[in-house]
Amino acid sequence: MEGAKPAPRAAAKADAQAAPAFRAAAPEAGASAAPGTAAAAASAAASAAYQGAVLAAIAAHKHYPDAALARGPRGVAVVAFTIGDGGQVTSAQLARSAGDSALDADAVATVRRTSPFPRPPTGAPRKFAASLNYIPR
């Protein structure tokens, strides 16, 4: 149909802003089963499910900090963190600033207050980076 416009993507954009982005560090050598096996596929599925659970937990604990409301800054903070065997955060630090100290502090605090995470399955990554997008509402 000529002249038709694509559907707006506002809903997808809003969803992307609401949930932190998530990236896991490369697994350590020998951490997964041999490629091409059923065990490797199961390990990859368990790792993906674990990463999703970690992401969902962070998203559930994220909020726009009260200290920043009057100023209304926007930004994306990236937090690098490590999860121990029991699911506890063993380290968390700001990897990239959102450009506002209140947003940066809340991003690190969000990861820390979400701890403990579920126990990681065997072979799942332990080092992560989460991007938290702050937009005042």
Instruction: State which H helix or E strand residue 96 sits in.
Output: strand 89-96
Other CB atoms within a 10 A radius of the CB of residue 108 amount to: 19
Q: Per mean pLDDT, which range of 18-22, 53-57, 129-133 is the poorest?
A: 18-22
SS3 91: strand
- Per-residue DSSP letters for 1-17? -TT--PPP-HHHHHHHH
* Residue ranges of domains in the chain: 33-134
Compute the distance between CA of residue 46 and CA of residue 25 in angstroms, rounded to an integer: 15
Does pLDDT of 127 surpass 50? yes
pTM of the model: 0.71
Structure tokens given for 14 = 């809003």
CA-closest candidate to residue 58, choices 78, 32, 28, 72: 78
Q: Are 33 and 121 in contact (CB under 8 A)?
A: no
Please say if the pLDDT value at position 12 is more than 80: no
6 token code pair: 């694509």
Domain 33-134 class? alpha beta
List pLDDT tens digits, range 56-81.
Answer: 899 899 999 999 999 999 999 999 99
Say if CB 109 and CB 94 are below 8 A apart.
no
